[in-house]
Structure 1
Amino acid sequence: MNENCLAYILPGPVELASLLSGLPEKYHIRECGISVDTICYLDTFDWRLNNKELLCFRIGKTSFVLTSFAGEFKLQEEGPTHEKPLPLHFSDGALGEKLMTVAGIRALLPRAEITRKSQCFQVMNRDQKIVFSGSLELNQLIPPDNEEGCQPVSLGGSLRLLGVRGYDKILEKVTEGLKLQGLEAGYSEERTLRLALTELGENSHHYSSQFSIILDPAESVILAAQKIFFQLLKGMERNVFGIIEDFDTEFLHDFRVALRRTRSLLGSIKKIVHPDDIVRFQQGLKDIGTFTGPVRDLDVYLLAKKDYQSMLPEGLQEGLTLFFQGLAKQRLKELQRLRKALQSRKFHSFMAQWQEYLENSILLSSLISGQKSCKEVASKSIRKRLRSILESGSQIGPQSPDTELHCLRIQAKKLRYLLEFYRSLFPETEMDILVKSLKKLQDNLGNFNDLSVQQKMLGEYQNALALKEQKNAIKVAAALGGLITHLYEEQIDVRNKFEQTFEQFTTVENSKLFTLLFK
């Protein structure tokens, strides 16, 4: 067989005999069997595969296919039986590695499910020789489980033709006939997914973990704040279900990021709305941060398991394994508490009050200063925060206490949030430069803080083990001691890079950009 393979788009159900009705009498169709497969299209909650123009689907229970929209490559391997698998659940083959690169730690969630009826056939001449072969594939959308009584919906399908060397003319005649019937070549799996999502009322742009909003420079700062708050609230609400179901750890991470952004913005407008409103909602948001914290803290350690394993020699690995087993058990307990809190009347009541306030009260409770243009206020807020960072950072030296670096980290984070909130008000290229530069400083400060927090937590865990005399406790304590030593050395290295990182952030070029943009 040659490479003369074609795939035509079928807009709806059709019979094979009708499609090939133009065949000369000396040819006949031999049907080779019919198969029916269930195909489930998968992607992460934030559509990471789709954003990279990749498509993953499961055929049956364990056969997975990963392909590009344009079909330049196709990987197919046996995979896990999990309904919502993580990339780490796959083997170390090419498909699993690609999924890990693109999807990372996010679960692959079912996006749409179809049945595909495939009818294979061969076209024979009078000598009973195959002149070309192919398959007729018809797709039907399977209604979601919660839509009882709904009938499957036709999503059309494809007609695939594979030529045989030496019989090009008959294939050309057939393709001409298909064109006369109005069929187009170029079928793709992406098209079927798109049709399915349309029927389901979904699209691949419903959610992104990256914050983005378009503001009008002339609109009032209180109106801009209202828009930002609404978007952050929507982001929090969309992640609650994934947290409760525990699909992957990023649902809680994104929820908490939206929560911190909300608290940061609320703090930045404390002179614009009534102080009582600020106090009331800051307390409620703080409470949410408190009860969502323990699971997130444990997630951070569990996600770092491989990194920790690489830090210790073989003789300490058993103790480290026991340590992570204990963390996993503790996480299950904390997750139950978190689920209970997220499903509580108190949580839902607060979220409803916050939404009602944004819808009906925030504009009315705004003070006169809230009517200033958002660009004017944004520029002033960014200048003020930057000035604070420059003053604090320039005073930090080799002997400065860790608390000063921690305070600078908080200030840098608040500046990052301001740049994210208001970046649409300023030139995109220049904002990208500043955000990228700030991120390098944040990475240094964040790594330093994380290493400090990890040492403290591991030390407390180790001290608690000192009260126990079991053999396993001694093994775990030894492993944690090795980790603390390694983390301390790494923290010293990160600390030594701070001055250079801060200097890179405060270059003349960056100073000119800040002055130019936020004058």
Structure 2
Amino acid sequence: MHKRDTFQLPRKTSDVYPIHSTLPLFKIIRTHVLQTFSFCKNYQKGIIKDDDPEFLHQYRVTIRRIRAILSLHQSLFIPDQLKEINFAIKNLMQPTNLQRDLDVYLMQMEHYFNLVEHQHHQGLARFFDDLQHQRQKAYKKNKHWLKSEEYKAQYKLICIQLKQLSPLMEDLSSPPQEMINTLLMNLNNHIITSMKAIDSQTSDAQLHRLRIKCKKLRYGLEYYQPLTEQLSLSLQLKTVKFLQTKLGDFNDSSVQIDFLNHYLEQYIKTGRRAKAIGLLLQKTQQRHLENKQQLINEVILCSQNTAH
């Protein structure tokens, strides 16, 4: 019996700012996001074959990176065009949301079983059997979407929109390095201001907004890595990565709590499965609150160690 062939994850060359380029910054960014978006199609065969959930994960990460980079540079481009592109990209990725969420739950199955007592494992097993069934349905729908003419047309349209992305005229004359420093410095300062506003009463929504800002700055710092030593930023890439990871883990647990609540409301309210999910929800909420306090302390400490 021969082992079934499997696809290898496509390897992408590191994308960094072409420091010796003489092109205006808007053209460099436009080319970068177009190349990055065009690379997304390299994940599609792996998503359709469904050997490894990492194909879908990297597809989504790549698209989120594009949206973050466009958001970071929104002052360079015509707002209406950016709004249309962002809407189109969001709609292209949206059908994959459920499959990815279910992949995450199924990959954490062992962790969830460890959270509740053995007597509730039978009910939890039924819950995960249901998730696996839902995941297969989501995968088939996603597979059909990626193969559809509608998807291909939307993908092609976004490529055209990115090629036609136009600058605001007042930005054409500014030196690229000066513009880059301004863009990153403004976001750097917004993040520090947000961090200094964090306290024990901070809402989950505030932490979520801080996560989005950190992600945007991280992608910007990674892209402009050749210039980082010349930029006067107080937040370094290592710190931003740390914050984004911690904030991302906290946001994931928020999503998990919402999912479990929705499952109980929509699918099942009684029986062993409901009891097991209720206990899992209780444990997850408890850990979420504990992690929130720890996260808040880490953000406060980081803000104290970072000069504005």
TM-score by length of 1: 0.54
The answer for the alignment partner of 1:505 in structure 2 is 302
For the residues of structure 2 that align with 1:391 and 1:214, how far apart are their CA atoms? 27
The answer for the alignment partner of 2:223 in structure 1 is 421
Give, in angstroms, the shift of residue 317 of structure 1: 0.9
Q: Contact 1:242 / 1:251 at 8 angstroms: preserved in 2?
A: yes
Bigger proportion of residues as helix: 2
- Kindly provide the amino acid, as one letter, of the partner of residue 168 in structure 2: L
Q: Any idea what SS the aligned residue of 1:271 has?
A: helix
Bigger proportion of residues as strand: 1
Distance 1:110 1:405, change over 3 A: closer
Give, in angstroms, the shift of residue 463 of structure 1: 2.6
| Structure 2 counterparts to residues 437-452 of structure 1, below 5 A | 437-452=239-254
Number of matched residues? 304
- Kindly provide the amino acid, as one letter, of the partner of residue 348 in structure 1: K
Distance 1:504 1:227, change over 3 A: farther
Q: Any idea what SS the aligned residue of 1:372 has?
A: coil
For the aligned residues, what is the CA RMSD? 2.6
For the residues of structure 1 that align with 2:256 and 2:174, how far apart are their CA atoms? 44
Correspondence 1:323 to 2:147: no
The answer for the alignment partner of 2:29 in structure 1 is 225
The answer for the alignment partner of 1:461 in structure 2 is 263
Correspondence 1:83 to 2:4: yes
- Kindly provide the amino acid, as one letter, of the partner of residue 83 in structure 1: R
For the residues of structure 1 that align with 2:38 and 2:11, how far apart are their CA atoms? 10
- Kindly provide the amino acid, as one letter, of the partner of residue 4 in structure 2: E
Summarize deviations over 1:252-273 as a string: whole Å, max 9, x none.
1111111111112222333322
The answer for the alignment partner of 2:168 in structure 1 is 367
- Kindly provide the amino acid, as one letter, of the partner of residue 484 in structure 1: L
For the residues of structure 1 that align with 2:278 and 2:286, how far apart are their CA atoms? 13
Q: Any idea what SS the aligned residue of 1:216 has?
A: coil
The answer for the alignment partner of 1:32 in structure 2 is none
Correspondence 1:216 to 2:11: no
Q: Any idea what SS the aligned residue of 2:52 has?
A: coil
- Kindly provide the amino acid, as one letter, of the partner of residue 184 in structure 2: I
The answer for the alignment partner of 1:385 in structure 2 is 187
For the residues of structure 2 that align with 1:446 and 1:272, how far apart are their CA atoms? 28
Gaps of 5+ in 2: none
The answer for the alignment partner of 2:68 in structure 1 is 264
| Structure 2 counterparts to residues 158-197 of structure 1, below 5 A | none
For the residues of structure 2 that align with 1:378 and 1:341, how far apart are their CA atoms? 38
Percent identical pairs in the alignment equals 26
For the residues of structure 2 that align with 1:246 and 1:458, how far apart are their CA atoms? 25
- Kindly provide the amino acid, as one letter, of the partner of residue 275 in structure 2: A
Give, in angstroms, the shift of residue 226 of structure 1: 2.2
The structure having more radius of gyration, on CA atoms, is 1
For the residues of structure 1 that align with 2:99 and 2:52, how far apart are their CA atoms? 12
For the residues of structure 2 that align with 1:353 and 1:392, how far apart are their CA atoms? 36
- Kindly provide the amino acid, as one letter, of the partner of residue 333 in structure 1: K
Q: Any idea what SS the aligned residue of 1:453 has?
A: helix
The answer for the alignment partner of 1:348 in structure 2 is 152
- Kindly provide the amino acid, as one letter, of the partner of residue 463 in structure 1: E
Structure with the bigger RCO (C-alpha within 8 Å, sep 6+) is 2
The answer for the alignment partner of 1:309 in structure 2 is 113
- Kindly provide the amino acid, as one letter, of the partner of residue 416 in structure 1: R
Give, in angstroms, the shift of residue 370 of structure 1: 4.3
Summarize deviations over 1:338-362 as a string: whole Å, max 9, x none.
1122122222122223323444x33
Summarize deviations over 1:4-54 as a string: whole Å, max 9, x none.
xxxxxxxxxxxxxxxxxxxxxxxxxxxxxxxxxxxxxxxxxxxxxxxxxxx
Q: Contact 2:188 / 2:217 at 8 angstroms: preserved in 1?
A: yes
Gaps of 5+ in 1: 1-59, 62-81, 85-108, 112-203
- Kindly provide the amino acid, as one letter, of the partner of residue 221 in structure 2: L
Give, in angstroms, the shift of residue 241 of structure 1: 1.2
The answer for the alignment partner of 1:491 in structure 2 is 288
Q: Any idea what SS the aligned residue of 1:366 has?
A: coil
Counterpart pick for 2:205 among 378, 397, 403: 403
Give, in angstroms, the shift of residue 460 of structure 1: 1.7
